[in-house]
Amino acid sequence: MVLTDTFTPRNFRGQSHLAARDARLRAILDHATRYFMTKRGVALEAFADREDHFGRARVARLAALSRLPELLERLERNATAAGTRVHWARDAAQAREIVAGIARDCGAKVVVKGKSMVSEEIALNPALEATGAEVWETDLGEFIVQLAQEPPSHIIAPCIHMSRADVAALFREKLGLADLADAASIPELTLLARRALREKFLAADLGVTGVNMAVAETGSVVLVENEGNIRMSTTCPPVHVAIMSLEKVAATLEDAADLLRVLPRSATGQRMSSYVSVLTGPRRTEEPNVELDGPRETHLVILDNGRAEVLADPVLREALLCFRCGACLNSCPVYQTVGGHAYGSVYSGPIGTLLSSLLLPTEDTRDLPFGCTLCGACKKTCPLGIDHPKLMLRLRERVCAGSPGLAGVAHAFLALHPLAYRLAVGAARAVDPGLNLLPRLPGLPVGLASFVDSRQPPRLKTPFSAQLRRSRKKGGA
């Protein structure tokens, strides 16, 4: 994932602290999460036999995981038979090298990209730019955050943290539209983006997208979107590269159809997203079925990047069921409060916490599973029945595994002996009533220091004599 010194889950605590104090951000998050939840609620209300459809979707995902190696081989075989070149990437670096290699081989000068979390995960854009190509995010929200040089803040709506005036200011500067007023309407801004990107689509040598699912039975990739940018990216450029994280396979077309029943409804409250593309190989060029558009060359990159190892953990592998509808983000009180950026990772909210913790080095993500109230709203919302809180606890265990330090042993003893606990707290309070000094004590373990730092003891009652003095003073004035 793209982790810089400032954008990293290592700073989750500090970033959450700042985000939670940002009143403007809170208002935007409040609006956005309610908007998504309301739309979703209305759609699910009208969704007949909802629980059965959810159950089928879950089993389709479970079935895929239970036969993952075999299905990936099958996918490879069928995609290859359809004319797609299949590549395997163990990690982000390999995936970047593969896609950059394809870009070099086809002499790509302009690359258009559909919205894809996995391409963010592997930090693809800098690698493509290093080949000398210009790279354009073409989903409107992604285009905006790319111009702003920020990471996306929501899986479904990458720029929910920006206002229309922010976007107008950005377009004025980056698209050379000096006359654009802050008061420009949203349809106007959308039209400007359409014009700017239409040129890029027509000039593009390479289209790069993610994958919502890949069908083992046929070697097809299924792409789901609303804007049409993914269709453009797979229609105009001569070469298409689809990057999939390896768990996104569906065994059969029936399974894919069952998942399509649920995904758009849960993501955006739509019965179906505006465009679903089922793509199988490059355009046909042999008589009698010669096609005039679509890529002449198609590639499928199967990315592991830490996922394969997760499959061995009977609890944590449930995170691999996720098909990225984003509903858990909107339902999460922590996400509602701090937003996506605080997580310091491409994936945010409940599922983001799980994925980041599983895919990134443990030392970078220790705090993430603790940024959770265990309220269970995510579990209740998830159409695939992922039990996020259970996985959070498992991750907490993992973070805390190993022999406990002295402070841990001491705390465990105190917690088991109420009298000793009260004595210790009483002693600490007598010396340091506001717990101001304790965190600064040299030699204090980091864990204990941050524990103390994040707590405030109830104030000691003001002595009667002081109260009396104060009331006298007031009376005298």
Half-sphere exposure of 189 (CA within 13 A, CB side): 20
Total of residues contacting other proteins (CB under 8 A): 101
Least CB distance from residue 73 to other proteins, whole Å? 7
Least CB distance from residue 61 to other proteins, whole Å? 10
Task: Based on the shown chain and the rule CB under 8 A, indicate whether residue 9 belongs to the binding site for other proteins.
Answer: no
Near other proteins in 82-141, by CB under 8 A: 82, 88-90, 94, 138-141
Task: Based on the shown chain and the rule CB under 8 A, indicate whether residue 236 belongs to the binding site for other proteins.
Answer: yes
Task: Based on the shown chain and the rule CB under 8 A, indicate whether residue 304 belongs to the binding site for other proteins.
Answer: yes
| Euclidean distance between CA atoms 432 and 448, whole angstroms | 15
Task: Based on the shown chain and the rule CB under 8 A, indicate whether residue 32 belongs to the binding site for other proteins.
Answer: yes
For other proteins, give the closer residue by CB, 306 or 439. Answer: 306
For other proteins, give the closer residue by CB, 56 or 366. Answer: 56
Question: Which of 118, 133, 239, 256: binder of other proteins (CB under 8 A)?
Answer: 256
Task: Based on the shown chain and the rule CB under 8 A, indicate whether residue 390 belongs to the binding site for other proteins.
Answer: no
Residue 89: strand pairing partners: 303
Between 269 and 288, how does the x/- string for binding to other proteins read (CB under 8 A)?
-xxxxxxxxxxxxxxx---x
Question: Which of 14, 41, 69, 433: binder of other proteins (CB under 8 A)?
Answer: 69
Residue 459 CB partners (closer than 8 Å, separation 6+): none
10 Å CB burial of residue 55 (0-12, 13-18, 19+) is: middle
Tokens 């979107």: give the residue.
225
Near other proteins in 196-235, by CB under 8 A: 197-198, 201-202, 218, 220, 226-229, 231-232, 234-235
Residues 333, 373: contact at Cβ < 8 Å? yes
| Euclidean distance between CA atoms 239 and 205, whole angstroms | 7
How far lies 462's CA from each of 299, 425, 437, 459, 465, in Å?
72, 19, 20, 8, 8
Least CB distance from residue 428 to other proteins, whole Å? 45
Least CB distance from residue 51 to other proteins, whole Å? 8
Residue 63 belongs to what H/E stretch?
Answer: helix 50-66
For other proteins, give the closer residue by CB, 32 or 382. Answer: 32
Q: Which two tokens stand for residue 13?
A: 């605590």
Give the ranges where 224-295 is alpha helix by DSSP (H): 229-233, 253-268
For residue 20, the SS3 value is helix
Helix pair angle (253-268, 50-66), 10° resolution: 120
| Euclidean distance between CA atoms 250 and 320, whole angstroms | 13
Question: Which of 2, 55, 337, 399: binder of other proteins (CB under 8 A)?
Answer: 55
Preceding amide of 237 cis, omega within 30:
no
Least CB distance from residue 161 to other proteins, whole Å? 11
DSSP-derived pairing of the beta strands 110-113 and 275-279: unpaired
Where in 326-378 does DSSP place strands (E)? none
Least CB distance from residue 186 to other proteins, whole Å? 5
* Residue 422 burial (CB count, 10 A): 11
Question: Which of 4, 23, 45, 52: binder of other proteins (CB under 8 A)?
Answer: 52
Task: Based on the shown chain and the rule CB under 8 A, indicate whether residue 246 belongs to the binding site for other proteins.
Answer: yes
Q: Which two tokens stand for residue 137?
A: 């995010």
Tokens 């689809």: give the residue.
242
Question: Which of 49, 173, 182, 397: binder of other proteins (CB under 8 A)?
Answer: 49
Task: Based on the shown chain and the rule CB under 8 A, indicate whether residue 40 belongs to the binding site for other proteins.
Answer: no
Least CB distance from residue 246 to other proteins, whole Å? 7
| Euclidean distance between CA atoms 69 and 81, whole angstroms | 18
DSSP letter, residue 47: -
Segment interacting with other proteins, rule: CB under 8 A, options 29-37, 103-111, 125-133, 437-445: 29-37
Between 158 and 187, how does the x/- string for binding to other proteins read (CB under 8 A)?
xxx-xxx--x------------------xx
For other proteins, give the closer residue by CB, 70 or 105. Answer: 70
For other proteins, give the closer residue by CB, 194 or 472. Answer: 194
Least CB distance from residue 477 to other proteins, whole Å? 52
Least CB distance from residue 214 to other proteins, whole Å? 13
For other proteins, give the closer residue by CB, 76 or 364. Answer: 76
CA 286 to chain centre: 41
